[in-house]
Amino acid sequence: MGLYRTVANARQAIGNPQSAIRAPSALAPRLIPAILAPMSIRILCLGDIVGRPGRRVVEQKLKGLVKERKIDLVIANSENIAAGSGITANLFHKIRSYGVDVVTLGDHVYRKADILPTMQASERIVRPANLAAQAVGRASTVVTTEGGVQVGVFCLLGRIFMNNMPADDPFATADKVLRQFPAGVKVIVCDMHAEASSEKVAMGHHLDGRASMIVGTHTHIPTADAKILSGGSAYISDLGMCGPYDSVLGRRKEKVLRFMTTSMPTQFDVATGDVRMCGAIAEIDETTGKAISMERVEVQGESVDPAYDADDKSNWQGGGGGGE
């Protein structure tokens, strides 16, 4: 927001020539570039927040990162925030208090029934837009930053290797959602929650130049392809997760290995070691919606023990599957 202050100072000097005369060396060299420079906002997208370890690292590290990097809007996929699968109303409000502005979801959207009223009432949480029209929750939202910039947010479910929830064509749905945003909304963010990298990459190209930032979630593994596409959209195939990396996708490695080596059903408990907060930051021209820069971000946290607390146990749902 320093740019706004520079432009404001420049305009004040233009309106009061004597002030410019008193301090020409400080103002004159910056006057024209400041006026012509694009107004921009910085958006931070966080990968899947996994259980208590993910919540703790976001609670401990997010506000400091927002201050340090001058972030204007924080979007976080939070479908795994409750005991590693699903989200509750209580945890939605907690994650909002940690500094998350908008919550996106995925295939575990309805694991916890008590989130349903919140999904109907709040503009700060969106379900995958390509679920059935009768599905509870908002398919998209428009929020306004403290600086007054409107940002459209929506998420989609991939269909390749995603067999646990029926979903409509994400490409056609994306086109429909974009048409429904008000004309004045120039900055748009899409969370593509999908298993196959090919489907995420294809969505990036499909939305290139029409969405400001396209980020992949679901696999819990950060990818090294953060970039700006040819049409001006910021893109990354997967943000990774906010959670324990000494694990198999956030679950205790010995439990997952036991299942994979014996074929016997095993509860995949949330792990606790090597906790990190991972995501990406894009700077967006607020007048055109085009990306100026795009970069991965990774913040080291602390190991968390135990893996569960009252917020998890009161809504416990054991896992026998992947937990992504």
Distances (CA, A) of 212 to 149, 204, 249: 13, 10, 28
Tell me the whole-structure pTM to 2 decimals. 0.87
More confident residue, 20 or 153: 153
Q: Is residue 16 predicted with pLDDT exceeding 80?
A: no
Does pLDDT of 51 surpass 90? Answer: yes
pLDDT, tens only, 153-182:
999 999 999 987 899 999 999 999 999 999
Specify the pLDDT at position 217.
Answer: 98
Cα dist from 99 to 106, 169, 239, 255, 279, whole Å: 20, 32, 18, 33, 14
Which amino acid appears at position 290 of this protein?
A: K
Distance CA 125, CA 105 (A): 8
Across 55-81, average pLDDT: 98
**pLDDT, averaged across the chain:** 89
- Residue 38 has what pLDDT? 73
pLDDT surpassing 60 at residue 122: yes
pLDDT at 2: 40
CA distance 132 to 121: 19
- Is 317 within 8 Å of 85 (Cβ atoms)? yes
Q: Specify whether the CB–CB gap between 249 and 324 falls below 8 A.
A: yes
**Total H helices, total E strands in the chain:** 10, 14
- For residue 15, name the pLDDT band (cuts at 50, 70, 90): very low
Per-residue model confidence (pLDDT) at position 165: 87
185 pLDDT tier (thresholds 50, 70, 90)? very high
What CA–CA distances, in Å, run from 286 to 72, 227, 289? 11, 18, 5
| Whether pLDDT at 26 is above 60 | no
Domain boundaries, the chain: 2-35, 39-313
Decide if pLDDT at 103 tops 50.
yes
Instruction: Please answer whether residues 186 and 286 qualify as being in contact, where contact means their C-beta atoms are separated by less than 8 angstroms.
Output: yes
**Whether domain 39-313 has CATH 1.20.1250.20:** no
Three-class DSSP category at 153: strand
Q: How much is the average pLDDT of 195-199?
A: 97
When computed from its CA atoms, the radius of gyration of the chain, rounded to whole angstroms, is 21
Are the C-beta atoms of 302 and 275 separated by less than 8 Å?
yes
| pLDDT over 90 at 89, yes or no | yes
Calculate the dihedral angle through the C-alpha atoms of 66, 309, 48, 133, rounding to the nearest 10 degrees: -110
Residue 187 confidence (pLDDT) above 90? yes
pLDDT beyond 60 at 324: no
Of 225, 247, 237, nearest to 304 by C-alpha is: 247
**Section 43-72 average pLDDT:** 98
Decide: 71 and 42 in contact? Cβ < 8 Å. yes
pLDDT of residue 293: 98
Q: Which residues are part of the catalytic machinery?
A: 108
What number is the average pLDDT over the span 219-228?
A: 98
20 against 132, higher pLDDT: 132
Higher pLDDT, 140 or 303: 140
Q: What is the DSSP string of 189-229?
A: EEEEE-S-HHHHHHHHHHHBTTBSEEEEESS----S--EE-
